[in-house]
A and B are shown apart, each in its own frame.
Chain A
């Protein structure tokens, strides 16, 4: 705000404009303040809900000891490792079944049947197969991520405008050019939608998997803290999941901007 050049008559509206972006934060700050005061006054017991400052303190302590970063890194590794495996397979099967009617007839019904099994329901089997090691978590995340990406890729390819494909035929595009220039870009919005769904399922699956059986990771950290009634550490873990989830969403949006520069909803840059 530059008050020096303009008179006081102009300074007031400028001030009002500059405060506007703060408006959405009024309620969260108010809630945090009440929460903090409630804890300080003893209305809320520490064991039920630690104070915001207490959580911040726990986060700081965990950061200094290196526990926070180490566990977050391990969780990210599992999450994105599983996502890479399940996502790649989902993409490949989606493209294959979308393009080849033969493959679709052969595989789609099977995949649709498997899709109806909640992937978290097979956790007991997964523990029997893989124990509680890394493969179990990678497997669960991969299975969870596979289906949204498979389905959206498959439908994306199937729903590519038939007029554009006919145009490609009229211009005698070779098969590969047809795939890279017409089919894949046409299916891309749908594929990226699948990626966003997949990222959500990725964190959900990992939280469950780490909470049930793990010796490291954010889920392990929170379950361990629960044993010792360290509610502040549990909440640090919860907040960390929220933060990582948000981070994944930001990445998905960045990917959309990168892959769909032609799309009218990204043309203006604002979303």
Chain B
């Protein structure tokens, strides 16, 4: 019902206005710089991270690959401000990350949409002035503007993650953290989502940090790939492949093989 109304509104304005709105939303001052120095995180008597250093360039797309329990998610939660390190410093644009910053947002493994809010209500979860327009522009960017008035329950898994991505975009983050957001999707939907994320990242210019098990996904999306093993960086490689990236090139395959070797030790 609501979607119809909005659909009509857009039909009247034409798609040009819609695209312009999406572009305006995407245009941001650029990505944030992330700096980690001597970061340590201990859970009980288990050391997950120890003396960890990392510099992430503004606007870059960095993937962190590792097996389960190698500290990937811990690292991401430290960056998100959801957790604090036992030692060392985590900084964003030269300022320590204390608690949750308005400049950072995170996409989780599950979409975490509120079932009792419509799609647009979820995207504009923080409300504030003009939230409907912002939310609608973000939904347009992920290609779901016509589903704005529906309940999340009727969406597919891939669509839910696209809504979650739109919700993250409304914040216009300097740093977008992706905690295996495509892990639960089928292969085709995954590929679609990877393309969408790459396109939005290129346009919006935020810094992106992706945590994943999937080496091919890391190669498809990133500028740089870190392999984490035993709480340390086992491999740190740049990805100098042209964008948009073709599926399954020889260079990509060679890179994937090298990363898999580093993962397996």
Question: Which A positions have Cβ atoms within 8 angstroms of B?
Answer: 161, 163-164, 166-173, 177, 181-182, 185-186, 188, 260-264, 267
Contact = CB atoms under 8 A, between A and B. Distances in A.
Contacts of B100: 169-170, 172
12 contacts: A163-B110, A166-B112, A167-B112, A167-B125, A171-B105, A172-B100, A172-B102, A181-B114, A182-B114, A262-B117, A263-B115, A267-B151
B125 A171 contact: yes
B182 interface: no
The 5 A-B pairs with the shortest beta carbon distances in the complex, nearest first, are A185-B116, A167-B112, A262-B116, A262-B151, A171-B126
B153 A170 contact: no
Given A173-B125, A264-B153, 12 more contacts: A164-B114, A166-B112, A167-B108, A169-B100, A170-B80, A171-B126, A173-B126, A181-B125, A185-B116, A260-B116, A262-B151, A267-B151
Consensus secondary structure, chain B interface: loop
Contact of B82 (A170, A182, A262): A170
A67 B10 CA distance: 62
Tier of interface size on chain B: 20 to 34
Given A170-B80, A172-B102, A173-B126, A262 B108 contact: no
B147 interface: no
B37 interface: no
Contacts of A186: 116
Nearest to A260: B116
Contacts of B117: 181, 262
Contacts of A261: 151
Given A172-B100, A262-B116, A264-B153, A163 B108 contact: yes
Interface in B87-134: 100, 102, 105-106, 108, 110, 112, 114-117, 125-127
